[in-house]
Amino acid sequence: MPLRRSVLLLLFLLSSYSIHATAAALDTRSMFQRVSKAIVQVKISNIQSGEKSSIGSGFFVSNDGFLITNYHVISSVVREPGEYQIQLILSEGEIEKAELVDIDLIHDLALLKSSVTPPVALRFHQGAVEKGSELASIGNPHDLGMTVVKGSYSGTLSDSLYERIHFTGAINPGMSGGPALNVANEVVGINVATAGNEVGFLVPASYGDRLLQRARIEQSRDIDAIMNEQLLENQQRFSQAIFDSGFPLTEMGEFMVPDRWGEFIRCWGDSDNDEKMPYQIVTKQCSTEDDIYIDQDYSTGEIAIEHRLISSDELSAYRFSSLYGSYYADLPSTYADEEDVTSFACQSNFVHNGKLKMKIALCLRRHIKFEGLYDLVLKGATMERDSYGVQTSLLVTGIARDNALKLARKYINSFGWKE
Amino acid sequence: MIILEQIDHLGRVKERYRLDSNRVRVGRGFDNDIIINDPFVCAHHVEIEARENNGITVHDLDSVNGIFAYGNNKRTEKLQLNSGERMRIGHTLLRYYSIHHPVAESRQDRLSTDLFNDLLNSSVVLWSGYLLLALLSALSSYLGSYSEFEMLELFRAQLLPYAFVLLVWPGFWALLSRITTHSFYFRAHSIIATVILLSSLLYDEFAEPILRFSFSLDDSLELISYLISFSLMGIAFYAHLRFCSAQSSKRLALYAISFAVVIVSLAYMEDYDSGQEYSSYPEYHAAMMPPAFQMTEEVSVDEFFARVESLDSVLQREIDRHNEEQ
């Protein structure tokens, strides 16, 4: 979703100029004094050239040198092994090295280990947080030095596949990976993203705690294998959510078509009734708001559905079919790099699902580095009437083959006539 | 009876004489049976006498420059020639034929005898071809448009390129014809080009989309497309070549097929290369036709998913290829 990303980016930039002047019930000055030694700047630099490629924030969570930051801060270390190194800039300015221990790709977290013995380590808050509680997010925005941003806990997002805390406060670039603390100086969440205008997002602290606990009991493992496993687990989770939804249907003209499968999928409607045009199009688009970031050009775990009701009273059957064909060729963005996925392989047929006749193209491609992960594109068009039909496209990225086919089958089977 | 030809050094006939008597005198003087306008030939140069066995004997009449057998620079007094043989007097070449000399079988004149050539030479055919091409391309752009139909766009995108091709392509062949046969045959070349353009328009805009719509068999459809372009190209080359060369039909067909093979294989190689390239966009046939054009039976959902299984091996090959490249 390039549009969504650019809007996010714009909002990011705007938000960095907003001014925060709110009365304090939370004493940020004393908090900062107490915790600042636990917070570091994380700098990823190229080993060859020494140039920094990304910066973020991080914080110590144990006295033996474990730190938490965001996966997206350190992703180049994972994606181009041997080319980048992780450096920590401590509160007094000393530079130390750190190694990557574990990641939680789905929640955008990474656990680092350094040989530093920090004077302070932060604790994770256990249990629920009251909505409206004051929080302070700490980090290093725009490489300008450590700052504290006050805000409040506004609950968790209900319409996301990936659990996030809504933080009302300005999180800026560079603050990624920093902690958001409550009055007891406990970590409630980890800064991860912003939608601008005081809308920030945090990863719930429990996921950071889980990473730390896992590092205490498990041997260190190959990061690629961990990513593979997490991606497979995640697709199983969202596939199950879809299968459990009972496949609700919605009306589209004279047809019944698949509706969204839960709140994690958002829908928009649009109709195109330009009087100059000899045809009418009603569009319904649904997609997930988030995806899983792997690197700059590679994200996955997206679901997008689109239905289009296309009709015309004026066009002849043949001319209508030209219109119908041009929309049949149209798909949501499937961009990915050659190093990450194969080309698509497609099967195309006229299919009768017992209710409707449709022309269907089902395309699959495989992820190269992640075994068992596929992208599914399904395009369908009803072939029942001359100048009236509904077209659909379904895009699911990062799904196992069997789940993809099961989902595609249920999807095709759910089309029918309106009662 | 004696037949003499005055020829040039390539053997081409400049003059031909048929003489009833058995004794003939040749020279520059006006009292000879054959008068030759060559300053190196004497007034009375030679006397020719018919022999029994279809040959002649040539006697030198005391000429200044004498007589020579063809290809021989030694002057001779007397020369025996058989039918079809040559001699030289002065700077003039003569060839003798007896009336019994066999002639080569007559060649069929393809350029003016068969119906096809009549058609290919008819301006009615040419202009109907142009008209049909314009109408069909207008029809195809009308059917392919679903908003307002624009005449100007039709001219710009369809008719102008056609007009350009119909000037340049036949023009090229006409030049070739002029060089090899001394005639342009521009109309014939234009008709051939128009017919080929019409056929490819019919296939590309009508037949192929219908086939694509109904049959999802990518490979076989591709094969059909190659076969059709191969045939059209072969026919075009053959037809054009007939107006550029008097060689036998068999040989021309061979040339035409070879041209077509070369060009179609080049196109195939390019397609193959781009087909192997990575694409992040799924490639499926998006061509749509009215439901009535569907020629294949629809399959059940189960059958469809049984066919989807075949994608596994395609994807596995892609993975293997990627691993090999690493």
- B130-168: pLDDT as tens digits: 999 999 999 998 888 888 777 888 888 888 999 999 999
**Does B282 contact A329 at a Cβ distance shorter than 8 Å?**
no
**Does B282 contact A377 at a Cβ distance shorter than 8 Å?**
yes
**Does A351 contact B285 at a Cβ distance shorter than 8 Å?**
no
Taking only Cα atoms into account, the Rg of chain B, rounded to an integer number of angstroms, comes to 34
**Does B304 contact A345 at a Cβ distance shorter than 8 Å?**
no
Q: Name the residue facing B146 among A279, A360, A401 (closest C-beta).
A: A279
Instruction: Kindly state whether residue A3 falls inside one of the protein's structural domains.
Output: no
What pLDDT is attached to residue A15?
A: 35
Report the residue of B221, B284, B324 to disrupt the A interface, i.e. the one with the largest count of A CBs within 10 Å: B284
What pLDDT is attached to residue B110?
A: 58
Task: Give the pLDDT band of residue B108 (cuts 50, 70, 90).
Answer: low
**What's the pLDDT tens digit per position in B251-264?**
999 999 999 999 99
Distance to chain A for B294, nearest Cα, Å: 9
**CB neighbourhood size of B108 (10 A):** 9
- Nearest in space to B91 (alpha carbons), one of B194, B8, B192: B8
Write the CB contacts of B77 (distance below 8 Å, at least 6 apart in sequence).
Answer: B59, B60, B67
Report the residue of A349, A407, A410, A413 to disrupt the B interface, i.e. the one with the largest count of B CBs within 10 Å: A349
Instruction: Quote the CA–CA distance of B136 and A72 in Å, as a whole number.
Output: 57
Instruction: Kindly state whether residue A119 falls inside one of the protein's structural domains.
Output: yes
Report the residue of B301, B317, B319, B322 to disrupt the A interface, i.e. the one with the largest count of A CBs within 10 Å: B301
Instruction: Kindly state whether residue A190 falls inside one of the protein's structural domains.
Output: yes
Verify that A320 and A338 share a domain, yes or no.
yes
Distance to chain B for A398, nearest Cα, Å: 15
Instruction: Kindly state whether residue A16 falls inside one of the protein's structural domains.
Output: no
Please say whether the beta carbons of A411 and B301 come within 8 A: no
Instruction: Quote the CA–CA distance of A207 and A110 in Å, as a whole number.
Output: 10
User: With contacts defined as CB-CB under 8 Å, which chain A residues touch B276?
Assistant: none
What single DSSP character describes residue B247?
S
User: With contacts defined as CB-CB under 8 Å, which chain B residues touch A367?
Assistant: none
Q: Tell me the DSSP string of B133-180.
A: HHHHHHHHHHHH--S---HHHHIIIIIHHHHHHHHHHHHHHHHHHHHH
Verify that A194 and A253 share a domain, yes or no.
no
Verify that A204 and A238 share a domain, yes or no.
no
Verify that A193 and A278 share a domain, yes or no.
no
Rounded to 5 degrees, φ, ψ at A122 are -85, 150
Write the CB contacts of B174 (distance below 8 Å, at least 6 apart in sequence).
Answer: B184, B185, B186, B189
Please say whether the beta carbons of B289 and B210 come within 8 A: yes
Q: Name the residue facing A342 among B146, B304, B322 (closest C-beta).
A: B322
Verify that A217 and A235 share a domain, yes or no.
no
Verify that A264 and A215 share a domain, yes or no.
no
Verify that A160 and A255 share a domain, yes or no.
no
The yes-or-no verdict on residue B266 having pLDDT over 50 is yes
Predicted model pTM: 0.78
The yes-or-no verdict on residue A334 having pLDDT over 60 is yes
Domain termination site, one of A171, A192, A221 = A221
User: With contacts defined as CB-CB under 8 Å, which chain B residues touch A334?
Assistant: 280-282
Structural domain total, chain A: 2
Please say whether the beta carbons of B4 and B19 come within 8 A: yes
**Does A318 contact B285 at a Cβ distance shorter than 8 Å?**
no
Instruction: Kindly state whether residue A7 falls inside one of the protein's structural domains.
Output: no
Task: Over range A340-358, report the average pLDDT.
Answer: 94
Verify that A180 and A59 share a domain, yes or no.
yes
Task: Give the pLDDT band of residue B182 (cuts 50, 70, 90).
Answer: confident
- ipTM metric: 0.86
**Does B216 contact A276 at a Cβ distance shorter than 8 Å?**
no
- Nearest in space to A181 (alpha carbons), one of A210, A211, A202: A202
Task: Give the pLDDT band of residue A362 (cuts 50, 70, 90).
Answer: very high
Verify that A398 and A323 share a domain, yes or no.
yes
Interface of B with A (CB under 8 A): 142-148, 216, 278-294, 296-301, 304-305, 307-308, 310-312, 314-315, 318-319, 322
The yes-or-no verdict on residue A17 having pLDDT over 60 is no
Task: Over range B274-301, report the average pLDDT.
Answer: 88
**Does A342 contact B304 at a Cβ distance shorter than 8 Å?**
no
Say what angle helices B218-242 and B249-276 make with each other, to 10 degrees. Answer: 150
Please say whether the beta carbons of A256 and A412 come within 8 A: no
Domain termination site, one of A221, A240, A264 = A221
B317 to chain A: nearest residue by CA? A342
Instruction: Kindly state whether residue A339 falls inside one of the protein's structural domains.
Output: yes
The yes-or-no verdict on residue B109 having pLDDT over 70 is no
Residue A167: give the domain boundaries: 21-221
The yes-or-no verdict on residue B57 having pLDDT over 60 is yes
A332 to chain B: nearest residue by CA? B281
What pLDDT is attached to residue A13?
A: 38
**Does A344 contact B279 at a Cβ distance shorter than 8 Å?**
yes
Distance to chain A for B173, nearest Cα, Å: 37
pLDDT more than 90, % of chain A: 63
Verify that A196 and A234 share a domain, yes or no.
no
Instruction: Kindly state whether residue A123 falls inside one of the protein's structural domains.
Output: yes
Report the residue of A312, A319, A392 to disrupt the B interface, i.e. the one with the largest count of B CBs within 10 Å: A319
Domain termination site, one of A221, A249, A274 = A221
**Does A346 contact B304 at a Cβ distance shorter than 8 Å?**
no
Within A157-302, strands assigned E span 165-168, 179-181, 186-196, 199-204, 249-252, 255-258, 265-272, 280-288, 292-295, 298-300
**Does B315 contact A377 at a Cβ distance shorter than 8 Å?**
no
Question: What CATH number is associated with residue A206?
Answer: 2.40.10.120
The yes-or-no verdict on residue B97 having pLDDT over 80 is yes
**Does B308 contact A362 at a Cβ distance shorter than 8 Å?**
yes
Verify that A117 and A250 share a domain, yes or no.
no
What single DSSP character describes residue A341?
B
- Give the A:B interface size as CB pairs under 8 Å: 149
**What's the pLDDT tens digit per position in B197-229?**
999 999 988 888 888 888 766 667 788 889 999
**Does A409 contact B301 at a Cβ distance shorter than 8 Å?**
yes
User: With contacts defined as CB-CB under 8 Å, which chain B residues touch A362?
Assistant: 304, 308, 311
The yes-or-no verdict on residue A21 having pLDDT over 80 is no
Verify that A68 and A171 share a domain, yes or no.
yes
Distance to chain B for A240, nearest Cα, Å: 21
CA B168, B172, B173: angle at the middle one, nearest 5? 125
The yes-or-no verdict on residue A43 having pLDDT over 60 is yes
CA A116 vs CA A38, A138, A167, A179, B107: distances in Å:
11, 20, 31, 19, 102
For chain A, how far is it from start to end, CA to CA, in angstroms?
Answer: 35
**What's the pLDDT tens digit per position in A178-235?**
999 998 899 999 999 888 788 899 999 999 999 999 998 877 789 999 999 999 999 9
Distance to chain A for B266, nearest Cα, Å: 24
**Does A364 contact B216 at a Cβ distance shorter than 8 Å?**
no
Instruction: Kindly state whether residue A264 falls inside one of the protein's structural domains.
Output: yes
What pLDDT is attached to residue B200?
A: 93
> Both tokens of residue A287?
């997609």
**Does A348 contact B216 at a Cβ distance shorter than 8 Å?**
yes
